[in-house]
Structure 1
Amino acid sequence: MTPLAVLRSLKVKLGVLVAVSVVVAALVANAGRVGGVAAWLSIPVTIALALAVTQLLALGMTAPLREMTAAAQRMARGDYDVRVTATSRDEVGELARAFNTMARDLAGVDRQRRELVASVSHELRTPLTAQRALLENLADGIGDAAALSTALEQAERLSDLVDDLLDLARVDAGKAPLTPVDVPLGPLLEEAATHARATGRDVTYDVRVEPADLVVRADPKRLHQLVANVLDNASRHSPAGGTVTVRARRTPEPPGRYTIEVGDQGPGVAPGDRERVFERFGTLGTADGGGTGLGLAIARWVTDLHGGAIRFVDPEPGGTGALVRVELPLRPAVRTSTAPEETMTPPTPAPTPAPTPGPGVQPVAARPLLDDLFGSLWPERDLPGRLPVLLAAVAAGLFAALVLPFRDAGVGSFLVLVVCGAVPFAVARTRRDPFALACAVLAAALSAIVFLRAADWIGTLCVMAAAGLGMCGLTAARGLPGFVASAVSWPLSGLRGLSWLGRTLAQLTGLGQRAALVRTVVWSVLGLIVFGLLFASADALFAEWADAVLPDLSLDTFVLRLFLTVAVGGAVLAASYLALNPPRVDRAEASSRPVQHRFEWLAPVLVVNAVFAGFLIAQAAVIFGGHDYLQRTTGLTYAEYVHQGFGQLTVATGLTLLVVWAAARKAPRATATDRAWLRATLGVLCAQTLVVVASALYRMGVYQDAYGFTRLRLTVDVFEGWLGLLVLALVGAGVALRGVWLPRFALLSGAAALLGLALLNPDAWIARHNIDRFEDTGKVDWSYLQGLSEDAVPAFTSLPQDLRPCALGDRRRSDDDWLEWNLGRSRAVDVLKEADQYDPATCAAAETP
């Protein structure tokens, strides 16, 4: 039952849905504002909760419409055994019930039409074939009175078959008479074999009955029909000159029963097909095919009519072919109706609840709305609900809410990152993939920077890189588009996984004993809170102990922790869904068609090579001409000159990678000459690019010596060096003309470069080099040094005692608990403890103008 199923109007449901969603969003946003929650945290949480409420209330509102769409498409292809779910009382529910009635009526009409045609065709074929053979013999002058008698018997059988078909129609209507009498079994089997011989097939029939005078209680017409159909099936699948054996005997165990076994020497029936061949319109699973399978379906119907059973069994040891065994009671119970359930007329459904589909009726599952939204880009592979994953995500959110608020980055932050990353990785489909393992290891190492370094900027970069690496590992992305799609898929998974979240929450209603456990936990927590507050207010010592153990849970802090729980828990849950059902981030790209003429790719690459060569010649002129030549020619000092071109050289390096990629895709490689041209031109371009990289790094070094060292300049240095590494990797790939590994190498090497920068302790490195520059030139930017993190504080000890406050400023040491412990802040404690008072005048006097 859906939440809004009691409402009888679709318009009212939509109004309630909009009103509740708006109210929930307003309440959550107002709670965040009152609690002082930052906008970057409150807005995503508000949107997520509003979407969750909308999804919950809208559950089932449009499902019948989507089911009817799928059912109508199947009915258009001739499949009428489809039903849709109708649980609501509104206009959509009424339409669904009317659709089910229409589908049931159409299915009945179509089934009767098909079964009538198939039954008539099958049942008339055997006697007509026998009668045709006899008449052909008579026309050729072959035959006697016995042949005419046999022809008459076949004509009588045709008349009987018409009656049988009418009886079959009665079966479909739910009425089938049975008139049992005492029947000598031996003559009946001989008669059936005689009629089978009249078909003219080159098959011998061997009939044996034990005891020979065995008499059974049965409807002779029905029993003859059963044996005739089984013999017809056996003769059709026997090879020319083969023998069809018919064995009947009374069974000692269980007493009161007898068996009829019909065996042939054909290819036999596969075990997996032995049950299916008795279905209507089934086919015999043999190499030479068979009829429609209606004959064996009628044989089963007759068997069921007599209270027996029919099946294929393994042939006797050393035998081949198929063996049909019919087990019947010597005296069957009188029956007036043996219509199979699937042929019975279904009852008229009640007006309100949806009819329960009977046997043979296939309910249509509605295609989820999100499947239509995401399409083949992100299919859902029958993913079941995972309650442990949901509980783990909630636990991660609670842990983050307890640890993160009002603490600086440190050990606690690292533990939160590890817990949040472990949950999706533990359930990831790709967790055993070497690339995913490498991403996980690098992500963990990058996360450790939050307690190794006090600089927030490098810690933030490392956490973002760790998150990106984790997403790429979960999706097993292989190329740059896949890396970008992996990063985008994380927030989108919060929307894509709403249906999965609903299936997971639905498991809470069937927990059994676990439901009792949940109730126990709820009552225990409630008792802890109530009695804990009472005793804390009654005893000061108990209150001190409680404050030391429990976090601050005042209104403001409670709201903040609640928002953090939802945000972190939701992010972990979204990543877990991404791990369980990763999207197809690497779309199969059509193979790039090489250009027809070599000059189409070669000319642009040669032009780029020529431009690079001109630039390198200009660099040589600057080197050999010296500073005077540069200033006379351009009017720039050397420091201004190198600063002017560094950014452009970095862009040129990145564009070179693009040129190499495009040329490698478009250049033909069919001949050795083509491959030689490709290696030579791109190799020259990569070699010149390496010189450009070296020039860019040299320019930045000169500029830093002249104007000082900063975080941005150091980061750009590392980035340019990483681009140079990629150029070297391109050279390696060009030797083998295979670069499938390059995108993942670029991703992992970039993460490793960032990790190396963090381990270098960039703030301390910048501080040391600026102090060295100050000692050489007397120039320093004290305000910039004061803005560096505690990581740089130990480097200030190289300054004279009276100048250390100039770099430290008004910085004071902080008292961190163990969850806030950070290596950078810890190493700065002793220096800050001994620092003198900051005097701006002293610092200004120490700096060379």
Structure 2
Amino acid sequence: ASAARAGGRRARPWTVLWVLVALVLAAVPAFTDAGWPTFLALTAALGVASLALHGGTRWAGVLLGPLGIWSHFPRSLPWAVGALRGQSYPARAKVLPVLKAVLVAAVLLGVFGALFASADAAVADLLDGLTPSTDLGKLTPRIVLFVIGLVVALGAAHTAAAPRRWDRLPVKPGRERGRTEWAVPMVALNLLFGAFVAIQAVVFFGGYEAVMSKPGLIPAEYARQGFWQLLWVTVLTLVVVALAQHWAPRSTPADRLLSKSLIGLLCALTLVVVASAYYRMQRYVETFGLTRLRISVTAVEVWLGVVLLLVLVGVLLGARRCLPRAVVLSAVVGVAVFGLIRPDALIAEQNVARSEHGTIDVDYLRDLSADAAPALDRLTGDRRTCALQRISASLAGSDRSWYVTSLAEARAAEILRDRPVLMDRGEACARVRGH
């Protein structure tokens, strides 16, 4: 804040919003034990913090702003040293002699104290009680973390004082295409999407089960392959929309109305594609259960649907100026929500619920983090033992302070303390596989 004020900068509403989102992302590790949502959240938090320091309204600013802080790290230390040297301290003449005296005294006490301790056991016991114990195994990682934190803090200060203005990068508007040249491909694509949506409507209202019961059609394979294909359709549609806006005719009100109508219609039809992909994945999950990959790609598909909705609103209302920041905000909020809902817990909940009416893949569930412990605790017998053994071993072998322990780990430790599992070297898992 001091560096920003020295550079003549002040906080704006979007800056405050980015800071709040970064704090929420940084809080995700306090709630989940899973490493993958934690990594995504912390990476996104650093990117959002960089964006808050840089600012940005256009696409260049909001896409390069999250990466800009990395270029400030190498220059931040020389900048900080130079700033400290240039400062004048009123008590410098008094403080330096005191620091030198303390340093010399510490060296003398260390040398002669060690000699006296080796000469007399009583002195050794006394000095051992007075000297604070230091675990070198824990000290080294803490020093590394301190250095990393110092570099990040100095880099943030340097960024706040002299941010790069990515919004000033020249971006030339696309060459305007003729109405026929631009509209014919867009109309053809809209017709294709409309045909797909019509077929999906027939399948949905005509009965999904009736379609899936056709000879030679494997429902699970149909749902899985269809999801991935529709996911790529969504991604490619966003690329087409971006290029279409770049080259759209815009000379006359009729041209602008035509481009707005065709792009808006394509976005609306693609939203139906997103809904179809989501429905297919839900049916696949009902058959085979939820996994980390399936919940991840489903979350990506939902976010792409949100982006399409934002693009549709931006095109129809002419609010394209807010679109870059809105898209980035939707992404980082999605990462925060993804971490806070604890995906491993959802995976365990869904699979345990399925086990009441079918089978369960305990070998997969036992690799989940401590987030899954409350759901896995509902299993019985060898299934519960097998599913919770690795979590129990991980918690038993960890000696971490409260500030690096998540709420999920605390909850799992409480469950296992009340109802411990037997560490039987895999015998319970072998019996589960035998069934």
TM-score band w.r.t. shorter chain: 0.7 to 0.9
Query: Does structure 2 conserve the Cα–Cα contact (< 8 Å) formed by 1:593 and 1:666?
Result: yes
2:389 maps to a residue whose letter is: G
Q: State the 1:828 CA deviation.
A: 1.0
Q: Where does residue 826 of structure 1 map in the other structure?
A: 410
Q: Is the CA contact 1:431–1:437 (under 8 Å) kept in the aligned structure 2?
A: no
Q: Which residue of 1 aligns with 2:235?
A: 654
Indicate the SS of the match to 1:776: coil
Matches within 5 A, 1:722-741: 722-741=303-322
Write the letter of the residue equivalent to 2:230: L
Tell me if the contact between 1:630 and 1:638 (Cα under 8 Å) persists in the aligned partners. yes
Residue in 2 aligned with 1:470?
49
Moved more, 499-508 or 593-602: 499-508
Match of 1:796 in 2: 376
**Counterparts of 2:6 and 2:277, CA distance in 1:** 45
* CA offset digits 1:480-532 (Å, max 9, x no partner): 43234224322221344566346325326x54533642553454366457647
Q: Deviations over 1:367-421 (max 9, x none)?
A: xxxxxxxxxxxxxxxxxxxxxxxxxxxxxxxxxxxxxxxxxxxxxxxxxxxxxxx
In terms of fraction of residues, the more strand-rich structure is 1
Residue 711 of structure 1 and its aligned partner are, at CA, apart by 1.9
In 2, Cα distance between equivalents of 1:723 and 1:715: 12
Aligned with 1:486: secondary structure?
A: helix
* Change over 3 Å in CA distance of 1:560–1:815 after alignment to 2: closer
Q: Deviations over 1:151-185 (max 9, x none)?
A: xxxxxxxxxxxxxxxxxxxxxxxxxxxxxxxxxxx
- In the TM superposition, 1:45-60 aligns within 5 A as none
User: What residue in structure 1 maps to residue 83 of structure 2?
Assistant: 504
Residues 19 and 49 in structure 2, CA contact (< 8 A), matched pair in contact too: yes
Contact 2:238 2:308 in 1 (8 A): yes
Cα deviation per residue 1:316-335 (whole Å; 9 max; x = unaligned)?
xxxxxxxxxxxxxxxxxxxx
Distance in 2 between residues matched to 1:661 and 1:795, nearest whole Å: 43
Shift of 1:474: 0.5
| 2:24 counterpart letter in structure 1 | A
| Match of residue 297 from structure 2 | 716
Q: Deviations over 1:197-235 (max 9, x none)?
A: xxxxxxxxxxxxxxxxxxxxxxxxxxxxxxxxxxxxxxx
Counterpart position of 2:70: 491
Return the alpha-carbon distance in structure 2 between the equivalents of residues 848 and 618 of structure 1: 45
Q: Is the aligned partner of 1:517 residue 2:95?
A: yes
1:272-671 alignment, distance < 5 Å? 430=9, 432-497=11-76, 500-501=79-80, 503-507=82-86, 511=89, 513-514=91-92, 516-521=94-99, 523-524=101-102, 527=105, 531=109, 534=113, 538=123, 540=125, 543=128, 546-547=131-132, 551-552=134-135, 554=136, 560-592=141-173, 595-620=176-201, 622-623=203-204, 624=206, 635-671=216-252
Q: Using the alignment, how far apart are the partners of 1:428 and 1:795 within structure 2?
A: 52
Report the Cα distance in structure 2 between the residues aligned to 1:609 and 1:824, rounded to whole angstroms: 47
**How much does 1:423 deviate?**
8.3
For 2:242, give the aligned amino acid.
W
Q: How does 1:86-125 map to 2 (within 5 A)?
A: none
- Could you tell me which residue of structure 2 aligns to residue 202 of structure 1? none
Q: Secondary structure at the match of 1:616?
A: helix
Deviates more, 1:513-522 or 1:760-769: 513-522
- Report % sequence identity: 32
| Aligned counterpart for 1:837 among listed residues 422, 425, 432 | 422
Distance 1:436 1:694 in 2: 34
1:845–1:818 Cα change, 3 Å: closer
User: How many angstroms apart in 1 are the aligned matches of 2:141 and 2:427?
Assistant: 43
Summarize deviations over 1:536-584 as a string: whole Å, max 9, x none: 964547645654xx643x4x65555444443332232122211110012
In the TM superposition, what is the alpha-carbon distance from 1:647 to its structure 2 partner?
2.5
CA positional deviation for 1:686: 1.2
Matched with 2:401 is 817
Q: Secondary structure at the match of 1:454?
A: coil
Q: CA deviation at 1:447?
A: 0.8
| C-alpha contact 1:477 1:586 (8 A) present in aligned 2 | yes
One-letter identity of the residue aligned with 1:730: V
- State the distance in 2 between where 1:743 and 1:815 align: 44
Q: Given the superposition, is the C-alpha separation of residues 719 and 529 from structure 1 closer, same or farther in structure 2, using an over 3 Å criterion?
A: farther
Give the Cα separation in 2 of the matches to 1:541 and 1:715. Answer: 58
Q: Provide the TM-score with structure 2 as the length reference.
A: 0.85
Whole-angstrom CA distance in 1 between matches of 2:361 and 2:2: 46
Deviations 1:271-313 (Å, cap 9, x if unpaired)?
xxxxxxxxxxxxxxxxxxxxxxxxxxxxxxxxxxxxxxxxxxx
Pairwise CA distance, 1:741: 0.4
- Indicate which of 675, 690, 712 corresponds to 2:271: 690
C-alpha separation between the residues in 2 aligned to 1:578 and 1:452?
Answer: 30
- The 1:568/1:506 distance shift into structure 2, 3 A limit, reads same
Q: 1:418 maps to which residue? A: none
Q: Check 1:566–1:733 CA distance in 2 against 1; reply closer, same or farther (3 A cut).
A: same
Tell me the amino acid that sits aligned with residue 37 of structure 2.
I
Measured against aligned partners, the alpha-carbon deviations of 1:675-716 in whole angstroms (never above 9, x if no partner) come to 332232122111111111111111211222222212222122
Whole-angstrom distance in 1 between the partners of 2:199 and 2:126: 79
Aligned residues: 421
Which of 221, 245, 261 is equivalent to 1:680?
261
* Alpha-carbon distance between aligned partners in 2 of 1:518 and 1:435, rounded to the nearest angstrom: 44
Task: Point out which structure has higher relative CO (alpha carbons under 8 A, 6+ apart).
Answer: 2
Whether contact under 8 Å (1:423, 1:572) holds in the other structure is no
- 1:719 Cα deviation (Å)? 1.8
- Aligned partners of 1:530, 1:645: CA distance in 2, in Å? 75
**Structure 1's 602 and 819: CA in aligned 2 closer, same or farther, altered over 3 A?**
same
| Pair 1:668–1:683, CA change in 2 (3 A) | same
Structure 1: runs of 5 or more not aligned: 1-421
Q: Aligned partners of 2:385, 2:290: CA distance in 1, in Å? A: 20
Contact 1:622–1:630 at 8 Å: present in 2 too?
no
Whether the aligned pair in 1 keeps the contact of 2:76 and 2:151 (CA below 8 Å) is no
Deviates most, 793-802 or 765-774: 793-802
The letter for the 2-side match of 1:579 is A
* Counterpart residue identity of residue 651, structure 1: W
Aligned-CA RMSD value: 3.2
- Report the CA distance shift for 1:627/1:460 in structure 2 as closer, same or farther (over 3 A): same
Give distance in 2, aligned partners of 1:449 and 1:642: 32
Measure the CA separation in 2 of the matches of 1:790 and 1:596. Answer: 56
8 A contact 2:34–2:369 mirrored in 1: yes
Q: Does 1:805 align with 2:385?
A: yes
Change in CA separation of 1:677 and 1:828 when aligned onto 2, cut-off 3 Å: same
**1:517 to 1:593, Cα distance in 2 relative to 1, 3 A:** same
Q: 1:151-230 counterparts in 2 under 5 A?
A: none
- TM-superposed deviation, 1:757: 1.6
Report Cα offsets for 1:121-157 as digits up to 9, x if no partner: xxxxxxxxxxxxxxxxxxxxxxxxxxxxxxxxxxxxx
What TM-score do you get using the length of structure 1 for normalisation? 0.45
CA deviation after TM superposition for structure 1 residue 645, in Å: 2.7
Contact 2:371–2:409 (8 Å) recurs in 1:
yes
Q: Which residue of 1 aligns with 2:288?
A: 707
Change (3 A) 1:665 1:738: farther
> Could you tell me which amino acid in structure 1 is paired with residue 369 of structure 2?
S
